[in-house]
């Protein structure tokens, strides 16, 4: 297709964090352009954001509904191709539903919705619409996460026996939300975040990453949620024992009160014939441990990693790729699919970006965690759609 893909954005105004990331990720590969947006809840702020982004003023909208309506009426050569939803959690569902209704493909931040019911509805809607839906579980975009998944899938570490996945952060160790910090405010607000803060915001990445790499599905959880900061309404510390459908055991924990921790997502996967360890803060390295030979340090663009990692790698060895590049890999996979769709070519069979089904899995996990945390019995099984 001999043109860039056209993206519209909902959310992501001046104070936002994740909106800026989506834009860098979408733009850096030169395949997508930002053509319009409804960036804020006030028209004025949305306009200011649009100006920062050099958008034409008639493509900056006051509400997502206005955007969907007006964009739908634009001619083929101008109309946006897809909507990127980068709002707080509670808006993911209504915007996504409306965008699909208006005939637009969707990229949506995670967690997909704030309830299991919404998730089920959205999954049905996506299916019926025939439109593309991409959930930005961005950590699966890292080359060495792809490598880890491939090593497991190709049997290189044998049957997976144990998974340990962690996500320590320290930024909510005090009541930051009381200071007016926006990121903290919405995440700790049940109305905007849903029924969980810590497990929903970061524990959901753990669950997604564990299933993505281990190739087994979490079948049951035994969870404990805790709120350490006084006055906070949602969990800021979360732990769970895990059972996987392939026989693995696991531990998952996430915490936002782990003082001094940054964004410490990490995973270890132990198989019968080898083990893998990956840390998001040093993402270009995958440690592989073996029973009969020295531990390996697998690195992007060096000998060792396979084609899955190579496809997600932009630079020669030793040129660090980071968070934005991983995020861009999700966008790039989606863009590839979308380009084919717009050309009426068959989509890539297994384009590697998280789907609405992954979002549904995530909601089932959170649902089970919340149930488990409230009950006296140990184990709660995950609902399967």
Please identify, using beta-carbon distances, which residue of 72 and 317 lies nearer to a second copy.
Answer: 317
Which of 91, 105, 84 has the alpha carbon at shortest distance from 37? 84
Which residue lies nearer to a second copy by CB, 53 or 116?
Answer: 53
Among residues 103 and 247, whose Cβ is nearest to a second copy? 247
Closest separation between CB of residue 282 and a second copy, Å?
7
Q: Shortest Cβ distance from residue 7 to a second copy (Å)? A: 12
Looking at beta carbons only, is 4 or 45 nearer to a second copy?
4
* Minimum CB–partner distance for residue 385 and a second copy (Å): 27
**Integer Cα distance of 150 and 120 in angstroms:** 29
Distances (CA, A) of 34 to 44, 184, 296: 19, 27, 41
- Return the H-helix or E-strand segment holding 254: strand 249-255
- Nearer to a second copy (CB atom), residue 101 or residue 272: 272
* Interacting positions 176-205 with a second copy (CB under 8 A): none
Q: Which is nearer to a second copy, 264 or 362 (CB)?
A: 264
- Single out the residue of 22, 59, 299, 361 in contact with a second copy (rule: CB under 8 A): 299
Q: Which DSSP letter does residue 199 get? A: I
Distance of closest approach, residue 357 Cβ to a second copy, in angstroms: 26
Say how many residues touch a second copy, by CB under 8 A. 90
Cα distance between residue 33 and residue 35, in whole Å: 6
Query: What is the C-alpha to C-alpha distance for residues 89 and 187, in angstroms, rounded to an integer?
Result: 8
301 touches 313 (CB < 8 A): yes
Strand partners, 33: 6
Query: Which of residues 133 and 323 has its CB atom nearest to a second copy in the complex?
Result: 323
Q: Of the two residues 19 and 119, which places its CB atom closer to a second copy in the complex?
A: 19
Pairing of the two strands 105-108 and 237-244: unpaired
How many CB atoms neighbour CB 136 within 10 A? 24
Cβ-based nearer residue to a second copy, 20 or 102:
20
Question: Could you tell me the smallest distance in angstroms from the CB atom of residue 177 to a second copy?
Answer: 16
* Residue 85 vs 258, nearer CB to a second copy: 258
Shortest distance in whole angstroms from residue 166 CB to a second copy: 8
- Give φ, ψ of 276 to 5 degrees: -130, 145
Cβ-contact 206, 366 below 8 angstroms: no
**From the CB of 65, what's the least distance to a second copy, in Å?**
25
According to CB under 8 A, which residues from 13 to 72 bind a second copy? 17, 20-21, 23-24, 27-31, 34, 51, 53-54
State the minimum distance, in angstroms, from the CB of residue 253 to a second copy. Answer: 5
Give least dist CB 280 to a second copy, A.
7
Burial class of residue 320 in the structure, from the number of CB atoms within 10 Å of its CB (0-12 exposed, 13-18 middle, 19+ buried): exposed
- Letters for 128-167 (x = contact with a second copy by CB under 8 A, - = none) are -----------------------------x---xx-x-x-
Instruction: Please report whether residue 116 would count as binding a second copy according to CB under 8 A.
Output: no
Identify residues 234-293 at the interface with a second copy (CB under 8 A): 237, 239, 241, 249, 251, 253, 255, 257-264, 268, 270-275, 280-284, 288-293
Q: Are 88 and 193 in contact (CB under 8 A)?
A: yes
Residue with tokens 């995958």: 286
Question: Sign of dihedral through CA atoms 380, 186, 173, 178?
Answer: negative
What is the C-alpha separation between 295 and 353, in angstroms, rounded? 30
Residues 305-364 contacting a second copy, CB under 8 A: 314-325
Residue 112 vs residues 37, 161, 204, 228: alpha-carbon distances, Å: 20, 29, 10, 26
Q: How far is the CB of 33 from a second copy (least distance, A)?
A: 9
Answer for the pair 13, 23: CB distance below 8 angstroms, yes or no.
no
């Amino acid at each position: 297709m001999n043109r860039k893909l056209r993206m519209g954005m909902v959310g992501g105004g001046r104070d936002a964090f994740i909106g800026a990331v989506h834009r860098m990720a979408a733009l850096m590969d030169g395949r997508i352009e930002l053509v319009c947006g409804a960036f804020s809840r006030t028209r004025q702020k949305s306009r200011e954001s649009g100006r920062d982004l050099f958008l034409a003023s008639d493509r900056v909208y006051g509400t997502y509904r206005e955007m969907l309506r007006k964009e739908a009426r634009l001619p083929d050569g101008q109309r946006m191709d897809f909507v990127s939803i980068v709002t707080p959690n509670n808006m993911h569902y209504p915007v996504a539903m409306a965008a699909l209704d208006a005939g637009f493909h969707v990229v949506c931040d995670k967690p997909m919705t704030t309830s299991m019911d919404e998730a089920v509805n959205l999954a049905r809607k996506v299916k019926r619409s025939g439109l593309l839906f991409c959930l930005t579980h961005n950590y699966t975009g890292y080359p060495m996460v792809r490598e880890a998944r491939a090593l497991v899938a190709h049997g290189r570490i044998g049957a997976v026996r144990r998974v340990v996945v962690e996500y320590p952060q320290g930024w909510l160790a005090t009541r930051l939300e009381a200071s007016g910090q926006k990121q903290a405010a919405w995440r700790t607000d049940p109305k905007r975040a849903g029924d969980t803060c810590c497990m929903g915001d970061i524990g959901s990445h753990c669950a997604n990453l564990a299933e993505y790499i281990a190739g087994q599905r979490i079948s049951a959880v035994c969870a404990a949620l805790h709120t350490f900061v006084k006055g906070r309404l949602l969990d800021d510390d979360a732990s769970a024992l895990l059972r996987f459908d392939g026989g693995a055991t696991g531990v998952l924990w996430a915490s936002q009160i782990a003082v001094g921790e940054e964004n410490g997502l990490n995973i270890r996967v132990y198989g019968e014939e080898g083990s893998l360890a990956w840390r998001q803060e040093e993402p270009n390295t995958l440690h592989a441990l073996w029973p009969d030979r020295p531990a390996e340090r697998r690195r992007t663009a060096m000998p060792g990693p396979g084609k899955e990692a190579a496809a997600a790698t932009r630079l020669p060895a030793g040129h660090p790729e980071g968070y934005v590049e991983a995020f861009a890999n999700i966008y790039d996979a989606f863009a590839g699919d979308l380009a084919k769709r717009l050309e009426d070519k068959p989509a890539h069979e297994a384009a590697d970006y998280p789907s609405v089904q992954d979002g549904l899995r995530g909601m089932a996990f959170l649902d089970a965690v919340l149930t488990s945390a409230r009950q006296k019995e140990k184990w709660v099984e995950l609902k399967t759609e």
